[in-house]
Structure 1
Protein backbone atom coordinates (compact mmCIF):
# COMPACT_ATOMS: atom_id res chain seq x y z
CA UNK A 1 0.00 0.00 0.00
CA UNK A 2 1.32 3.43 -0.92
CA UNK A 3 2.11 5.73 1.99
CA UNK A 4 -0.33 8.65 2.41
CA UNK A 5 0.65 12.10 1.21
CA UNK A 6 1.10 14.51 4.13
CA UNK A 7 2.29 18.07 4.51
CA UNK A 8 5.64 17.42 6.18
CA UNK A 9 7.15 20.91 6.43
CA UNK A 10 6.13 24.55 6.07
CA UNK A 11 8.67 27.32 5.52
CA UNK A 12 8.48 31.10 5.32
CA UNK A 13 11.30 33.39 4.22
CA UNK A 14 10.54 36.84 5.65
CA UNK A 15 13.35 38.45 3.62
CA UNK A 16 13.89 37.20 0.09
CA UNK A 17 17.15 35.20 -0.21
CA UNK A 18 17.92 35.22 3.52
CA UNK A 19 17.37 32.33 5.91
CA UNK A 20 13.99 30.68 6.33
CA UNK A 21 11.84 29.77 9.33
CA UNK A 22 10.20 26.35 9.67
CA UNK A 23 6.73 26.80 11.13
CA UNK A 24 4.10 24.36 12.40
CA UNK A 25 1.23 26.33 10.87
CA UNK A 26 0.85 29.29 8.54
CA UNK A 27 -1.93 31.55 7.37
CA UNK A 28 -2.49 31.93 3.65
CA UNK A 29 -2.96 35.39 2.19
CA UNK A 30 -3.49 36.51 -1.43
CA UNK A 31 0.31 36.60 -2.04
CA UNK A 32 1.12 33.26 -0.40
CA UNK A 33 2.02 32.35 3.17
CA UNK A 34 1.71 35.23 5.60
CA UNK A 35 5.04 37.06 6.07
CA UNK A 36 6.71 35.15 3.22
CA UNK A 37 9.11 37.31 1.18
CA UNK A 38 7.44 40.59 2.02
CA UNK A 39 10.87 42.13 2.72
CA UNK A 40 13.58 42.53 0.08
CA UNK A 41 17.14 43.80 -0.10
CA UNK A 42 17.92 46.21 -2.94
CA UNK A 43 21.19 47.78 -4.09
CA UNK A 44 22.04 51.40 -4.80
CA UNK A 45 20.12 51.19 -8.08
CA UNK A 46 17.07 49.87 -6.16
CA UNK A 47 17.43 46.49 -7.89
CA UNK A 48 16.77 43.28 -5.98
CA UNK A 49 19.64 41.35 -4.42
CA UNK A 50 19.84 37.55 -4.06
CA UNK A 51 22.31 34.78 -3.29
CA UNK A 52 22.76 34.29 -7.03
CA UNK A 53 25.17 37.21 -7.05
CA UNK A 54 25.84 37.52 -3.30
CA UNK A 55 26.12 34.05 -1.71
CA UNK A 56 27.13 35.68 1.59
CA UNK A 57 23.45 36.45 2.11
CA UNK A 58 23.11 32.81 3.23
CA UNK A 59 25.00 33.72 6.40
CA UNK A 60 22.18 35.99 7.56
CA UNK A 61 20.01 33.85 9.81
CA UNK A 62 16.36 34.57 10.56
CA UNK A 63 14.67 33.63 13.84
CA UNK A 64 11.11 34.35 14.98
CA UNK A 65 10.51 37.14 17.49
CA UNK A 66 7.45 38.96 18.82
CA UNK A 67 5.57 40.41 15.83
CA UNK A 68 8.69 40.11 13.73
CA UNK A 69 12.04 38.37 13.44
CA UNK A 70 15.69 38.66 14.41
CA UNK A 71 18.56 38.76 11.95
CA UNK A 72 21.99 37.48 12.99
CA UNK A 73 25.21 36.90 11.08
CA UNK A 74 26.53 33.34 11.37
CA UNK A 75 30.18 34.47 11.30
CA UNK A 76 29.99 37.95 12.86
CA UNK A 77 29.20 37.75 16.58
CA UNK A 78 30.22 41.40 16.79
CA UNK A 79 27.02 42.30 14.94
CA UNK A 80 24.28 42.37 17.54
CA UNK A 81 20.95 40.76 16.52
CA UNK A 82 18.73 43.07 14.48
CA UNK A 83 14.99 43.11 15.10
CA UNK A 84 12.73 43.59 12.06
CA UNK A 85 8.93 43.86 12.39
CA UNK A 86 6.85 41.69 10.10
CA UNK A 87 5.29 44.84 8.62
CA UNK A 88 6.69 48.27 7.75
CA UNK A 89 5.15 51.74 7.82
CA UNK A 90 4.77 54.08 4.82
CA UNK A 91 7.09 56.79 6.15
CA UNK A 92 9.65 56.45 3.35
CA UNK A 93 8.93 54.99 -0.07
CA UNK A 94 10.63 54.21 -3.38
CA UNK A 95 10.25 52.11 -6.53
CA UNK A 96 12.26 48.87 -6.73
CA UNK A 97 12.97 46.43 -9.55
CA UNK A 98 12.57 42.66 -9.20
CA UNK A 99 13.13 40.74 -12.42
CA UNK A 100 11.04 42.57 -15.04
CA UNK A 101 8.70 44.17 -12.51
CA UNK A 102 8.98 47.63 -11.00
CA UNK A 103 6.93 47.96 -7.83
CA UNK A 104 6.28 50.50 -5.12
CA UNK A 105 7.86 49.66 -1.74
CA UNK A 106 8.11 51.04 1.77
CA UNK A 107 11.54 51.55 3.30
CA UNK A 108 12.63 49.81 6.46
CA UNK A 109 14.43 51.58 9.29
CA UNK A 110 17.73 53.34 8.57
CA UNK A 111 19.33 51.23 11.30
CA UNK A 112 18.38 48.11 9.30
CA UNK A 113 20.01 49.51 6.15
CA UNK A 114 23.18 50.24 8.14
CA UNK A 115 23.27 46.80 9.79
CA UNK A 116 22.70 44.94 6.52
CA UNK A 117 25.22 47.06 4.61
CA UNK A 118 27.83 46.27 7.28
CA UNK A 119 26.89 42.58 7.32
CA UNK A 120 27.21 42.21 3.54
CA UNK A 121 30.05 44.64 2.95
CA UNK A 122 28.09 46.64 0.38
CA UNK A 123 25.44 49.35 0.39
CA UNK A 124 21.91 48.03 0.48
CA UNK A 125 18.41 48.98 1.59
CA UNK A 126 15.64 46.94 3.16
CA UNK A 127 12.20 47.43 1.60
CA UNK A 128 8.72 46.05 2.23
CA UNK A 129 5.83 45.15 -0.08
CA UNK A 130 2.58 46.59 1.25
CA UNK A 131 -0.89 45.19 0.61
CA UNK A 132 -1.49 48.10 -1.77
CA UNK A 133 1.00 46.75 -4.30
CA UNK A 134 -0.21 44.58 -7.18
CA UNK A 135 2.41 42.17 -8.55
CA UNK A 136 0.84 39.45 -10.68
CA UNK A 137 1.84 35.88 -11.36
CA UNK A 138 2.74 35.27 -15.04
CA UNK A 139 -0.40 36.48 -16.90
CA UNK A 140 -0.43 33.75 -19.54
CA UNK A 141 -0.47 31.06 -16.81
CA UNK A 142 -2.63 32.93 -14.35
CA UNK A 143 -6.29 33.09 -15.36
CA UNK A 144 -7.27 33.49 -11.71
CA UNK A 145 -5.33 36.77 -11.42
CA UNK A 146 -3.18 35.52 -8.53
CA UNK A 147 -0.71 37.83 -6.80
CA UNK A 148 2.85 37.21 -5.63
CA UNK A 149 5.12 38.83 -3.07
CA UNK A 150 8.86 39.36 -3.69
CA UNK A 151 9.14 35.63 -4.49
CA UNK A 152 10.58 34.97 -7.95
CA UNK A 153 7.25 34.39 -9.64
CA UNK A 154 4.72 32.30 -7.71
CA UNK A 155 3.18 32.41 -4.23
CA UNK A 156 4.18 28.83 -3.32
CA UNK A 157 6.94 26.35 -4.15
CA UNK A 158 6.13 22.66 -3.56
CA UNK A 159 8.67 19.82 -3.32
CA UNK A 160 8.26 16.17 -2.35
CA UNK A 161 10.68 14.75 0.21
CA UNK A 162 10.99 11.69 -2.03
CA UNK A 163 12.32 13.91 -4.82
CA UNK A 164 15.14 15.19 -2.61
CA UNK A 165 15.85 11.66 -1.36
CA UNK A 166 16.16 10.44 -4.93
CA UNK A 167 18.53 13.26 -5.83
CA UNK A 168 20.65 12.64 -2.74
CA UNK A 169 20.96 9.00 -3.78
CA UNK A 170 22.85 10.24 -6.85
CA UNK A 171 25.13 12.71 -5.04
CA UNK A 172 28.47 12.01 -3.39
CA UNK A 173 27.53 14.53 -0.70
CA UNK A 174 23.80 14.81 0.11
CA UNK A 175 22.24 18.25 0.33
CA UNK A 176 19.52 19.63 2.56
CA UNK A 177 16.12 20.83 1.42
CA UNK A 178 17.12 24.42 2.24
CA UNK A 179 19.10 24.54 -1.04
CA UNK A 180 15.75 24.68 -2.86
CA UNK A 181 13.83 27.07 -0.56
CA UNK A 182 10.36 25.46 -0.74
CA UNK A 183 7.29 26.67 1.13
CA UNK A 184 5.51 23.30 1.11
CA UNK A 185 7.24 19.93 1.54
CA UNK A 186 5.17 16.76 1.45
CA UNK A 187 6.00 13.20 2.43
CA UNK A 188 4.82 10.05 0.68
CA UNK A 189 4.57 9.21 -3.00
CA UNK A 190 7.19 8.49 -5.61
CA UNK A 191 10.09 10.79 -6.44
CA UNK A 192 8.94 13.68 -8.65
CA UNK A 193 5.29 12.66 -8.36
CA UNK A 194 4.54 16.40 -8.06
CA UNK A 195 5.57 16.83 -11.71
CA UNK A 196 2.28 15.29 -12.78
CA UNK A 197 -0.02 17.13 -10.38
CA UNK A 198 -2.41 19.87 -11.41
CA UNK A 199 -5.21 20.40 -8.88
CA UNK A 200 -4.66 19.18 -5.32
CA UNK A 201 -5.81 19.88 -1.78
CA UNK A 202 -3.85 20.36 1.42
CA UNK A 203 -6.31 19.76 4.20
CA UNK A 204 -9.45 21.25 2.65
CA UNK A 205 -7.66 24.05 0.78
CA UNK A 206 -7.36 24.00 -3.04
CA UNK A 207 -4.04 24.51 -4.86
CA UNK A 208 -2.90 24.34 -8.48
CA UNK A 209 0.54 23.21 -9.64
CA UNK A 210 1.16 25.53 -12.58
CA UNK A 211 4.59 24.61 -13.89
CA UNK A 212 7.93 23.15 -12.90
CA UNK A 213 10.46 25.42 -11.22
CA UNK A 214 13.67 26.10 -13.14
CA UNK A 215 16.65 26.06 -10.80
CA UNK A 216 19.70 28.32 -10.78
CA UNK A 217 23.20 28.62 -9.34
CA UNK A 218 21.72 29.44 -5.94
CA UNK A 219 21.17 25.70 -5.37
CA UNK A 220 24.96 25.28 -5.32
CA UNK A 221 25.34 27.57 -2.28
CA UNK A 222 25.76 25.77 1.05
CA UNK A 223 23.29 27.54 3.33
CA UNK A 224 25.50 26.88 6.37
CA UNK A 225 28.75 28.31 5.00
CA UNK A 226 27.67 30.45 1.98
CA UNK A 227 30.25 28.61 -0.13
CA UNK A 228 29.43 27.66 -3.71
CA UNK A 229 30.10 24.03 -4.61
CA UNK A 230 33.22 23.97 -6.75
CA UNK A 231 31.83 21.26 -9.03
CA UNK A 232 28.39 22.84 -9.40
CA UNK A 233 26.50 20.27 -7.35
CA UNK A 234 23.65 19.51 -6.98
CA UNK A 235 22.78 21.43 -10.16
CA UNK A 236 25.25 19.44 -12.25
CA UNK A 237 23.70 16.10 -11.31
CA UNK A 238 20.15 17.43 -11.68
CA UNK A 239 21.01 18.58 -15.19
CA UNK A 240 21.78 15.00 -16.22
CA UNK A 241 18.17 13.87 -15.76
CA UNK A 242 15.98 16.87 -14.93
CA UNK A 243 16.63 19.18 -17.90
CA UNK A 244 13.90 20.69 -20.06
CA UNK A 245 15.46 22.70 -22.85
CA UNK A 246 18.01 25.01 -21.23
CA UNK A 247 16.49 24.76 -17.73
CA UNK A 248 16.96 22.31 -14.86
CA UNK A 249 13.71 21.54 -13.06
CA UNK A 250 13.11 20.71 -9.40
CA UNK A 251 9.84 21.42 -7.57
CA UNK A 252 6.55 22.92 -8.71
CA UNK A 253 5.37 26.53 -8.83
CA UNK A 254 1.95 26.63 -7.21
CA UNK A 255 -0.97 29.00 -6.77
CA UNK A 256 -3.38 28.75 -3.87
CA UNK A 257 -6.70 29.70 -2.34
CA UNK A 258 -5.89 33.23 -1.17
CA UNK A 259 -7.13 32.54 2.36
CA UNK A 260 -6.90 29.69 4.84
CA UNK A 261 -4.69 27.95 7.37
CA UNK A 262 -2.13 25.21 6.76
CA UNK A 263 -0.72 22.90 9.41
CA UNK A 264 2.06 20.36 9.16
CA UNK A 265 0.51 16.93 9.10
CA UNK A 266 -2.39 18.04 6.90
CA UNK A 267 -3.32 15.36 4.34
CA UNK A 268 -2.54 16.06 0.69
CA UNK A 269 -5.04 14.87 -1.92
CA UNK A 270 -4.29 14.95 -5.65
CA UNK A 271 -7.48 15.72 -7.55
CA UNK A 272 -6.23 15.92 -11.15
CA UNK A 273 -3.02 15.40 -13.08
CA UNK A 274 -1.62 16.81 -16.29
Structure 2
Protein backbone atom coordinates (compact mmCIF):
# COMPACT_ATOMS: atom_id res chain seq x y z
CA UNK A 1 0.00 0.00 0.00
CA UNK A 2 1.15 3.54 -0.73
CA UNK A 3 1.66 5.15 2.68
CA UNK A 4 3.66 8.22 1.69
CA UNK A 5 4.24 10.44 -1.35
CA UNK A 6 6.86 13.18 -1.61
CA UNK A 7 8.13 15.80 -4.05
CA UNK A 8 11.30 17.89 -3.83
CA UNK A 9 10.86 21.00 -6.02
CA UNK A 10 14.51 22.08 -5.66
CA UNK A 11 17.23 19.44 -5.56
CA UNK A 12 18.68 19.20 -2.04
CA UNK A 13 16.04 21.38 -0.36
CA UNK A 14 13.46 19.93 2.03
CA UNK A 15 10.66 17.85 0.55
CA UNK A 16 6.89 18.20 0.68
CA UNK A 17 4.44 15.40 1.53
CA UNK A 18 1.56 15.24 -0.93
CA UNK A 19 -1.71 13.32 -1.16
CA UNK A 20 -1.14 12.36 -4.78
CA UNK A 21 1.54 12.28 -7.46
CA UNK A 22 1.03 13.03 -11.12
CA UNK A 23 3.67 12.23 -13.66
CA UNK A 24 5.03 13.43 -16.96
CA UNK A 25 7.78 11.93 -19.11
CA UNK A 26 10.44 13.19 -16.68
CA UNK A 27 8.99 11.71 -13.49
CA UNK A 28 6.78 13.18 -10.76
CA UNK A 29 5.53 16.63 -11.71
CA UNK A 30 7.21 19.41 -9.67
CA UNK A 31 9.96 17.06 -8.49
CA UNK A 32 13.54 18.34 -8.80
CA UNK A 33 12.95 20.59 -11.80
CA UNK A 34 15.04 23.30 -10.08
CA UNK A 35 18.58 23.15 -8.74
CA UNK A 36 21.38 25.28 -7.29
CA UNK A 37 24.84 25.24 -8.85
CA UNK A 38 28.17 26.83 -7.99
CA UNK A 39 30.40 29.05 -10.14
CA UNK A 40 31.82 25.99 -11.88
CA UNK A 41 28.32 24.82 -12.79
CA UNK A 42 28.41 21.86 -10.38
CA UNK A 43 25.17 21.03 -8.63
CA UNK A 44 24.85 21.93 -4.96
CA UNK A 45 23.32 19.46 -2.53
CA UNK A 46 23.46 18.43 1.10
CA UNK A 47 26.62 16.36 0.61
CA UNK A 48 28.70 19.54 0.29
CA UNK A 49 26.32 22.11 1.74
CA UNK A 50 24.02 20.73 4.49
CA UNK A 51 22.52 24.22 4.80
CA UNK A 52 20.51 23.68 1.62
CA UNK A 53 18.34 21.17 3.48
CA UNK A 54 17.04 24.00 5.70
CA UNK A 55 15.47 25.77 2.72
CA UNK A 56 11.86 25.00 1.83
CA UNK A 57 10.44 25.08 -1.67
CA UNK A 58 6.93 24.81 -3.08
CA UNK A 59 5.34 25.14 -6.49
CA UNK A 60 1.96 26.66 -7.26
CA UNK A 61 1.16 26.46 -10.94
CA UNK A 62 4.48 27.33 -12.56
CA UNK A 63 5.67 29.59 -9.75
CA UNK A 64 8.39 28.40 -7.37
CA UNK A 65 8.53 29.84 -3.85
CA UNK A 66 11.71 29.39 -1.80
CA UNK A 67 11.70 30.02 1.94
CA UNK A 68 15.11 30.60 3.54
CA UNK A 69 15.99 29.34 7.04
CA UNK A 70 15.30 32.84 8.44
CA UNK A 71 11.78 32.81 6.97
CA UNK A 72 12.35 35.22 4.09
CA UNK A 73 10.75 34.14 0.80
CA UNK A 74 11.36 34.78 -2.87
CA UNK A 75 9.42 33.69 -5.96
CA UNK A 76 10.44 32.82 -9.48
CA UNK A 77 8.84 31.30 -12.56
CA UNK A 78 10.41 29.42 -15.50
CA UNK A 79 9.44 32.31 -17.80
CA UNK A 80 11.76 34.54 -15.74
CA UNK A 81 14.70 32.27 -16.58
CA UNK A 82 15.91 33.30 -20.02
CA UNK A 83 19.70 32.79 -20.01
CA UNK A 84 20.78 29.39 -21.34
CA UNK A 85 23.76 27.86 -19.49
CA UNK A 86 25.19 24.41 -18.74
CA UNK A 87 25.21 22.59 -15.40
CA UNK A 88 26.93 19.47 -14.13
CA UNK A 89 24.84 16.77 -12.39
CA UNK A 90 27.36 14.10 -11.51
CA UNK A 91 28.87 13.18 -14.90
CA UNK A 92 25.96 14.62 -16.90
CA UNK A 93 26.35 17.92 -18.74
CA UNK A 94 22.83 19.36 -18.64
CA UNK A 95 21.22 22.27 -20.50
CA UNK A 96 19.50 24.62 -18.02
CA UNK A 97 18.18 28.16 -17.77
CA UNK A 98 19.46 30.63 -15.21
CA UNK A 99 17.21 32.41 -12.71
CA UNK A 100 17.34 36.24 -12.53
CA UNK A 101 20.28 37.95 -10.82
CA UNK A 102 18.16 39.18 -7.91
CA UNK A 103 17.22 35.60 -6.97
CA UNK A 104 20.81 34.39 -7.22
CA UNK A 105 22.16 37.27 -5.18
CA UNK A 106 19.57 36.61 -2.48
CA UNK A 107 20.48 32.91 -2.28
CA UNK A 108 24.22 33.58 -2.37
CA UNK A 109 24.14 35.61 0.84
CA UNK A 110 23.12 32.51 2.78
CA UNK A 111 25.89 30.35 1.35
CA UNK A 112 28.63 32.98 1.64
CA UNK A 113 29.62 32.27 -1.95
CA UNK A 114 28.01 32.70 -5.36
CA UNK A 115 25.26 30.18 -6.08
CA UNK A 116 22.86 30.10 -9.00
CA UNK A 117 19.32 28.79 -9.26
CA UNK A 118 18.60 27.03 -12.54
CA UNK A 119 15.50 25.42 -14.02
CA UNK A 120 15.18 22.26 -16.06
CA UNK A 121 14.78 22.41 -19.82
CA UNK A 122 12.19 19.98 -21.10
CA UNK A 123 13.23 20.78 -24.68
CA UNK A 124 16.75 19.43 -23.99
CA UNK A 125 16.06 16.65 -21.47
CA UNK A 126 18.52 14.63 -19.42
CA UNK A 127 18.51 10.83 -19.68
CA UNK A 128 19.08 8.08 -17.16
CA UNK A 129 22.17 5.88 -17.34
CA UNK A 130 21.57 3.60 -20.36
CA UNK A 131 22.98 0.55 -18.54
CA UNK A 132 19.90 0.57 -16.31
CA UNK A 133 17.00 2.22 -18.11
CA UNK A 134 16.02 4.22 -21.17
CA UNK A 135 14.15 7.08 -19.55
CA UNK A 136 14.21 10.83 -19.03
CA UNK A 137 14.92 12.37 -15.65
CA UNK A 138 15.05 15.82 -14.07
CA UNK A 139 17.75 16.82 -11.59
CA UNK A 140 17.40 13.69 -9.41
CA UNK A 141 20.73 11.94 -8.86
CA UNK A 142 20.08 9.27 -11.44
CA UNK A 143 16.48 8.08 -11.79
CA UNK A 144 13.04 9.70 -11.64
CA UNK A 145 11.65 7.64 -8.72
CA UNK A 146 12.88 6.35 -5.38
CA UNK A 147 10.70 3.78 -3.62
CA UNK A 148 11.21 2.91 0.07
CA UNK A 149 9.56 0.42 2.42
CA UNK A 150 8.26 1.35 5.89
CA UNK A 151 9.00 -2.09 7.33
CA UNK A 152 12.66 -1.81 6.36
CA UNK A 153 12.95 1.51 8.17
CA UNK A 154 11.31 -0.03 11.25
CA UNK A 155 13.77 -2.92 11.17
CA UNK A 156 16.70 -0.52 10.80
CA UNK A 157 15.53 1.48 13.82
CA UNK A 158 15.20 -1.70 15.89
CA UNK A 159 18.86 -2.44 15.22
CA UNK A 160 20.09 0.94 16.38
CA UNK A 161 20.51 -0.03 20.04
CA UNK A 162 18.65 2.86 21.59
CA UNK A 163 19.92 5.49 19.18
CA UNK A 164 17.47 8.12 17.99
CA UNK A 165 14.90 6.68 15.59
CA UNK A 166 15.48 7.62 11.97
CA UNK A 167 12.63 9.19 10.02
CA UNK A 168 11.84 8.37 6.41
CA UNK A 169 12.55 12.03 5.58
CA UNK A 170 16.25 11.26 5.91
CA UNK A 171 16.10 8.98 2.85
CA UNK A 172 14.19 11.36 0.55
CA UNK A 173 11.83 8.89 -1.18
CA UNK A 174 9.13 9.78 -3.69
CA UNK A 175 6.98 6.75 -2.89
CA UNK A 176 6.76 5.02 0.50
CA UNK A 177 5.13 1.60 0.62
CA UNK A 178 4.01 -0.61 3.50
CA UNK A 179 2.76 -4.16 3.85
CA UNK A 180 5.83 -6.24 2.93
CA UNK A 181 8.49 -7.94 5.10
CA UNK A 182 11.49 -5.82 5.99
CA UNK A 183 14.18 -5.72 3.28
CA UNK A 184 11.94 -7.53 0.80
CA UNK A 185 12.43 -4.67 -1.66
CA UNK A 186 15.78 -6.17 -2.63
CA UNK A 187 13.83 -8.80 -4.65
CA UNK A 188 11.46 -6.41 -6.42
CA UNK A 189 11.37 -6.32 -10.20
CA UNK A 190 8.09 -4.58 -10.95
CA UNK A 191 5.19 -2.92 -9.12
CA UNK A 192 1.87 -2.84 -10.96
CA UNK A 193 -1.68 -1.62 -10.47
CA UNK A 194 -4.57 -0.95 -12.84
CA UNK A 195 -3.26 2.55 -13.44
CA UNK A 196 0.49 2.48 -12.82
CA UNK A 197 3.49 0.30 -13.47
CA UNK A 198 6.91 0.92 -11.93
CA UNK A 199 9.99 -0.91 -13.17
CA UNK A 200 12.69 -1.34 -10.54
CA UNK A 201 16.06 -0.62 -12.13
CA UNK A 202 18.69 -0.33 -9.42
CA UNK A 203 19.20 -0.39 -5.64
CA UNK A 204 19.71 3.09 -4.20
CA UNK A 205 23.20 3.25 -2.72
CA UNK A 206 23.43 5.80 0.06
CA UNK A 207 25.95 8.52 0.83
CA UNK A 208 26.58 11.03 3.59
CA UNK A 209 23.27 12.82 2.96
CA UNK A 210 21.45 10.18 5.02
CA UNK A 211 23.65 11.02 8.03
CA UNK A 212 22.10 14.51 8.24
CA UNK A 213 19.22 14.92 10.68
CA UNK A 214 16.32 16.51 8.74
CA UNK A 215 15.74 20.12 9.75
CA UNK A 216 19.33 20.52 11.00
CA UNK A 217 22.88 20.44 9.67
CA UNK A 218 23.98 17.85 12.25
CA UNK A 219 25.44 14.54 11.09
CA UNK A 220 25.20 11.07 12.62
CA UNK A 221 27.84 8.84 10.96
CA UNK A 222 26.34 5.74 12.60
CA UNK A 223 23.52 5.74 10.03
CA UNK A 224 25.78 4.48 7.23
CA UNK A 225 27.36 1.93 9.55
CA UNK A 226 23.95 0.57 10.51
CA UNK A 227 22.80 0.40 6.90
CA UNK A 228 25.87 -1.69 6.05
CA UNK A 229 24.54 -4.42 8.35
CA UNK A 230 21.60 -5.02 6.04
CA UNK A 231 21.74 -4.41 2.29
CA UNK A 232 24.99 -3.79 0.43
CA UNK A 233 25.51 -3.47 -3.32
CA UNK A 234 28.89 -2.78 -4.92
CA UNK A 235 30.32 -2.37 -1.40
CA UNK A 236 27.94 0.48 -0.62
CA UNK A 237 24.97 0.58 1.78
CA UNK A 238 21.53 0.44 0.20
CA UNK A 239 18.17 1.82 1.28
CA UNK A 240 15.32 1.91 -1.22
CA UNK A 241 15.03 1.08 -4.90
CA UNK A 242 15.33 3.35 -7.91
CA UNK A 243 12.52 3.01 -10.44
CA UNK A 244 11.18 4.31 -13.72
CA UNK A 245 7.56 4.67 -14.71
CA UNK A 246 6.45 2.20 -17.38
CA UNK A 247 2.76 3.13 -17.26
CA UNK A 248 0.70 5.92 -15.77
CA UNK A 249 -2.99 6.76 -15.97
CA UNK A 250 -3.97 9.59 -13.68
CA UNK A 251 -2.63 10.24 -10.20
CA UNK A 252 -0.99 7.87 -7.76
CA UNK A 253 -2.84 8.41 -4.48
CA UNK A 254 -2.19 7.60 -0.83
CA UNK A 255 -3.78 4.23 -0.08
CA UNK A 256 -3.30 2.84 -3.59
CA UNK A 257 -1.99 -0.72 -3.79
CA UNK A 258 0.50 -2.48 -6.06
CA UNK A 259 0.98 -6.07 -7.07
CA UNK A 260 4.64 -6.95 -6.59
CA UNK A 261 6.66 -9.08 -9.00
CA UNK A 262 9.92 -10.40 -7.59
CA UNK A 263 13.11 -12.10 -8.73
CA UNK A 264 14.62 -15.16 -7.12
CA UNK A 265 17.87 -13.42 -6.22
CA UNK A 266 18.53 -10.11 -4.42
CA UNK A 267 18.79 -7.10 -6.72
CA UNK A 268 17.55 -9.14 -9.65
CA UNK A 269 16.60 -5.95 -11.48
CA UNK A 270 20.23 -4.87 -11.85
CA UNK A 271 21.67 -5.38 -15.30
CA UNK A 272 24.76 -7.61 -15.40
CA UNK A 273 27.18 -5.51 -17.42
CA UNK A 274 29.36 -8.49 -18.26
CA UNK A 275 26.55 -10.22 -20.19
CA UNK A 276 24.27 -7.24 -20.98
CA UNK A 277 21.39 -9.44 -19.93
CA UNK A 278 18.97 -8.97 -17.02
CA UNK A 279 20.29 -10.72 -13.92
Regarding TM over 0.5, the answer is: yes
1:9 alignment partner, SS class: strand
Match of 2:89 in 1: 98
Task: List aligned pairs for 1:115-134, cutoff 5 A.
Answer: 115-134=106-125
Deviation, 1:240, is 2.5
CA displacement, residues 43-98 of structure 1 (integer Å, 9 cap, x when unaligned): 01111111001111111122454543432233x24xx212233x445521101111
Match of 1:233 in 2: 222
Instruction: Work out the CA distance in 2 between the residues paired with 1:258 and 1:42.
Output: 32
Gaps of 5+ in 1: 1-5
Distance 1:65 1:213, change over 3 A: same
Distance 1:140 1:8, change over 3 A: same
Distance 1:30 1:133, change over 3 A: same
- Taking only aligned residues, the RMSD between alpha carbons, in angstroms, comes to 1.7
Deviation, 1:109, is 2.3
1:116 alignment partner, SS class: helix
Instruction: Work out the CA distance in 2 between the residues paired with 1:69 and 1:166.
Output: 37
1:169 equivalent to 2:164? Answer no
Distance 1:84 1:133, change over 3 A: same
Match of 2:6 in 1: 11
Instruction: Work out the CA distance in 1 between the residues paired with 2:201 and 2:260.
Output: 14
Q: Which has the higher contact order (CA 8 A, sep 6+)?
A: 1
In terms of mean alpha carbon deviation, does 242-251 or 157-166 score higher?
242-251
Instruction: Work out the CA distance in 1 between the residues paired with 2:79 and 2:119.
Output: 6
Asked whether the 8 Å contact 1:31–1:258 carries over to 2, the reply is no
Distance 1:81 1:89, change over 3 A: closer
1:146 equivalent to 2:135? Answer yes
Task: List aligned pairs for 1:1-274, cutoff 5 A.
Answer: 6-65=1-60, 67-74=62-69, 76-77=70-71, 80-85=72-77, 87-89=78-80, 91-142=82-133, 145-171=134-160, 172-229=163-220, 232-257=221-246, 259-260=248-249, 261-273=251-263, 274=268
Instruction: Work out the CA distance in 2 between the residues paired with 1:216 and 1:13.
Output: 18
Q: TM-score, normalised by structure 2?
A: 0.88
Q: TM-score, normalised by structure 1?
A: 0.90
Deviation, 1:204, is 2.1
Match of 2:277 in 1: none
Gaps of 5+ in 2: 269-279
Deviation, 1:189, is 0.9
Deviation, 1:255, is 0.6
Asked whether the 8 Å contact 1:29–1:258 carries over to 2, the reply is no
CA displacement, residues 177-219 of structure 1 (integer Å, 9 cap, x when unaligned): 1111100001111112211110111452111111111000010
2:246 alignment partner, SS class: coil
Distance 1:35 1:258, change over 3 A: farther
